[in-house]
A and B are shown apart, each in its own frame.
Chain A
Amino acid sequence: MSENSVKAQGSGNGGGEEPRIGVFICHCGGNISDVVDVHRVAEEIGRLPFVVFSTTHTFVCSDPGQALIEQKIKELNLNRVIVAACSPTLHELTFRRTLARAGLNQYLFEHTNIREQVSWVVADHELATQKATRLIRAAVARVRDLVPLQKRRIPIHPSALVIGGGVAGLTAARDLADRGFAVTVIESAPFLGGRMAQLDRLYPTGQRARELLKPLVDEVVRHPRITIHTNAELLQATGFIGDFRTTVRLHPRGVDASLRNAGAVMAVCPEEAPDPFNYGLTKRKAIYLPYEGCYPPYPAIDWKACTKCGKCVEAAGKAGIDLEGQPTDIEIQSGVILMAVGLDLYEPRRGEYGYREHPEVVTLAQLNRLLDADGPTGGKLVLNGRPIRNVGFIHCVGSLQHKGIHPPMPDGRINDYCSRICCTTTLRAATELKERFPELNIYDFHEDIRTYGRGHEAYYDRASQQGVVFVRFDPLRPPRVEHDPRGEAPLVVKTVDRLTLGEEVEVPIDLLVLATGLVARDMAKLVDLYRCSVGSDRFLLEVHPKLRPVELAAFGLFLAGSVQGPMDTVESTAAAAAAASKAAALIAQAHVELDPFIAKVTEEKCSGCRICLYVCPYDAISRDDAKKVAVVNEALCTGCGTCVATCPCNAIIQFGFGDTQVKSEILALLGRQPAAAEAA
């Protein structure tokens, strides 16, 4: 709960005083003043009522510019400040701080955009000057109704919940725990490690993924401040920044650490199911370990495959296995939450480049399992016992899709984005194939190659030197995969090569590898529980890609890794570390201060109709049944103002965007006198 509520101090007139407005118009070193006659604007604005000072400055954001604002606030007793300059996204905060330094409430400020939205887009000097005048006039009308506001101050429980036990979640958990905060990691699978555990060698260093993962897992599981729950399912969530309460259902694992003879127990299990760890290339038992060295180090039971025949219980000597375990629900309290659920691999449609029609067509992930020395073939390149001479790779399967060429995904959208990792992963695999099997012919069919990261281009150079044949196809005419009519090889790939100026090529292929893209996981539950913003690519959406890249718009939620978009392991760990550090900075303050532009219910006007309860995207409004009025939870409100527009009684106001303020702005823009100010 908030300690200090947002207070509108004084009357609607700002502390009860008559407005004394100071206007500072920026030349922006000519960016504005070359087009807008700033001196004329300053003069016209200076004649408006309540404007006691109006001037121009070469760079208002510079130290002398800010010093001038401070000086004039003190000298002329200004109680409202307007800066007309660039976009508020750039310098609104700068000037709020200037006001605060001069001892004026920082919210008695208005930033008018006369650069991006006037001088840079209107060439005519006269029209631009008029437009700038109109906008500043509207700002003058608007600030008259500003009231001093205080930031909301909300205490933070010194703990974090990390959702997802892959490399991003583990990295974030370790970093946060190292900073002294209690961390809970929940993982839906029975084992930690996520996607990274399934990888073989990683670019750009060529190290083995599980060897890199192992020390991280060890660090996390031994950390005194980290609690881990596997087989965990998100059930419910309440609360808000500082005090989230998440209910998690822990499904029974069926096996505990007291099991001694795991190998023998797994051997007697009669049930088999496709092994998702090997992307369906092999089968596994219903009681299984995904790989050597996993954590927890004892098996888990795949309840979908298990028939509860009891053979494993007997083999275990009735110790360590319980087939009748029931799920338990626990509540986890946390100050912040980090989303680290990762992503999924695109599953090609049946028949897409012959996938699931020809056994010779595999995905890149499957190939990486085949290349893995610990993989299903022990690292041997074998397919149906046939020797392999020609390997083909097709890029951008499920990525960079084009409308009309690729059928839409189940939700009707197409994956028009680049999955980023597949080019380098493909070329890394190609170079490894060439090194280990120099007699192979490798053909790389691409519409584009994006080896964008540090060290990535080296794989392209290496592959070129090793004689990998690159064929560039037209994205609007993707290659066709057919049975080789000559019988030279099982398949033939037909396409038009743009690198040889449109030559038609037919390449016999023994093994065709589809470089499948990355897609967002089904996060409906997560999105619903925590009110996450989702981008049009279905990945979670940050507040701003540059200014707040690892935060969600709902307060106290952070994005750790590839939940946000396609990332490789390098980027995922970097994003997770960034999320951990942002989260730690927040927790360390013990309190958070939030902007005060939230909604507030005027109780006398509220009819208690509940309409606002249903429109609030954050469930921030509840109804006080005793008083029969709506109540806004200040910690949950993000200040979108949807309820304000919805309220049939005009009982809800939004600080900074009150009806009176916006209406004054409209009237001033249209050259009409604003009505007498009511309380905004």
Chain B
Amino acid sequence: MTQVGTQTQQPGPGRTTWEPRIIGFLCYWCSYTGADSAGTARMQYPPNVDIIKVMCSGRIDPELITTAFANGADGVMVLGCHIGDCHYISGNHKTMVRMPLMRRLLAELGLEPERFRHEWVSAAEGEKFSKLVGEMTEQVRALGPLNWPRLLHERGVGHGMDLKAWGE
């Protein structure tokens, strides 16, 4: 597994150890701005979470999360505005309902629940954002690399997707 995981990374010169790859879906108005405020305050946090900006966390289609896992992400974070602070009134209400369902679905597929995290981060919560990134990186690191196609293959699930594990 470790060997397979290494191949999905792009280690720099002299670095061969595995690093968790985490995709973070952030709503623009609160969480993305929260990540910016962490930057403005020069809070240091691990570089493992790569941010994809969406206008509202309500845009985060479960399919985007599975796409990330299916293509080599070891973890996924979904961050949105706190309930009551949504720029789009109630977009995050849909997130609030979808994400617990998503977590159950991922568990059904054999994924450790720690690989998926859904939190509310306001534009002012840079500190919370950097703390979450740190926690997430460490909890995914503790689990080791995820090889989703192999996982599905082992469990005998999958429909039409390329079931070849990477490196095979």
Contacts and interface: CB of A to CB of B under 8 A. Distances in A.
Interface of A: 87-89, 113, 115-118, 120-124, 126-131, 134-135, 138, 531-536, 541, 543, 553, 597, 615, 617-618, 638-642, 644-646, 654, 657, 659, 662-663, 665-667, 669-672
Interface string B82-109: 1011111111001000100000000000
Interface string B6-22: 00111011010000010
Contacts of A135: 50-51
Contacts of A116: 35-36, 38-40
B47 A124 contact: yes
The 5 closest A-B pairs by CB, nearest first: A116-B39, A641-B59, A642-B58, A640-B88, A640-B56
A617 B92 CA distance: 10
Given A641-B55, A666-B23, A671-B9, A128 B47 contact: yes
Contacts of B36: 87, 89, 113, 116-117
Given A89-B33, A120-B40, A654 B86 contact: no
Interface centre among B8, B46, B72, B91 (most CB of A within 10 A): B91
B161 to A, nearest CB: 12
Contact of A117 (B39, B54, B67, B89): B39
Given A531-B89, A659-B63, A672-B72, A117 B51 contact: yes
A88 B21 CA distance: 24
Contacts of A617: 58, 86, 88-91
Contacts of B59: 640-642, 644-645, 654, 657
Contacts of B86: 533, 617
Interface in B98-128: 98
Contacts of A541: 85
Interface centre among B47, B50, B62 (most CB of A within 10 A): B47
A113 B88 CA distance: 23
Contacts of B46: 122
B139 interface: no
B44 A638 contact: no
A645 B44 CA distance: 33
Contact of B10 (A118, A640, A671): A671
Nearest to B60: A645
Contacts of B94: 615, 642, 645-646
Contacts of B89: 531-533, 553, 617-618
B158 to A, nearest CB: 17
Contact of B87 (A87, A117, A533): A533
Contacts of A663: 64, 67
A535 B85 CA distance: 5
Given A534-B84, A535-B85, A640-B59, A670 B73 contact: yes
B147 interface: no
6 contacts: A117-B39, A121-B44, A130-B47, A534-B84, A617-B90, A645-B61
A610 to B, nearest CB: 16
B47 A118 contact: yes
A57 to B, nearest CB: 20
A641 B71 contact: no
Contacts of A659: 61, 63-64
A135 B10 CA distance: 13
Contacts of A615: 58, 94
A118 B73 CA distance: 19
Contacts of A533: 85-89
A469 B52 CA distance: 56
Interface of B: 8-10, 12-13, 15, 21, 23, 33, 35-36, 38-40, 42-47, 50-56, 58-64, 67-68, 71-73, 82, 84-91, 94, 98, 130
B68 A666 contact: yes
B88 A644 contact: no
Contacts of A122: 44-47
A121 B58 contact: no
B19 to A, nearest CB: 8
Interface centre among A87, A89, A638, A642 (most CB of B within 10 A): A642
A124 to B, nearest CB: 7
Given A87-B39, A122-B44, A640-B56, A669 B61 contact: no
B21 A670 contact: yes
Nearest to A641: B59
Contacts of B71: 666-667, 670, 672
A543 B86 CA distance: 10
B55 A657 contact: yes
B55 A131 contact: no
A553 B85 CA distance: 12
A398 to B, nearest CB: 20
Nearest to B12: A126
A657 B55 CA distance: 8
A547 B68 CA distance: 34
Contacts of A640: 55-56, 58-59, 87-88, 91
A641 B58 CA distance: 7
Contacts of A535: 84-85
Contacts of A113: 36, 51
B31 to A, nearest CB: 12
A666 B52 CA distance: 8
A88 B58 CA distance: 21
Nearest to A597: B55
A141 B98 CA distance: 27
A659 B61 CA distance: 9
A611 to B, nearest CB: 11
Interface centre among A127, A662, A667 (most CB of B within 10 A): A662
Contacts of B39: 87, 115-117, 120-121
A117 B15 CA distance: 22
Given A615-B94, A670-B23, A670-B71, A642 B52 contact: no
Contact of A671 (B40, B44, B58, B72): B72
B46 to A, nearest CB: 8
Contact of B84 (A87, A138, A536, A666): A536
A669 B35 contact: no
B166 to A, nearest CB: 9
Contacts of B13: 126
Interface centre among B23, B55, B68, B86 (most CB of A within 10 A): B55
Interface centre among A88, A533, A535, A654 (most CB of B within 10 A): A533
Nearest to B72: A670
Contacts of B9: 671
Contacts of B47: 118, 121-122, 124, 127-128, 130-131
Contacts of B50: 131, 134-135, 138, 669
A120 B91 contact: no
A123 B85 contact: no
Contacts of A667: 67, 71
A645 B46 CA distance: 29
A662 B52 contact: yes
Nearest to B38: A121
Nearest to B122: A536
A354 B53 CA distance: 52
A662 B64 contact: yes
Contacts of B84: 534-536
Nearest to A134: B50
A127 B50 CA distance: 12
Contacts of A642: 56, 58-59, 88, 91, 94
A666 B23 CA distance: 8
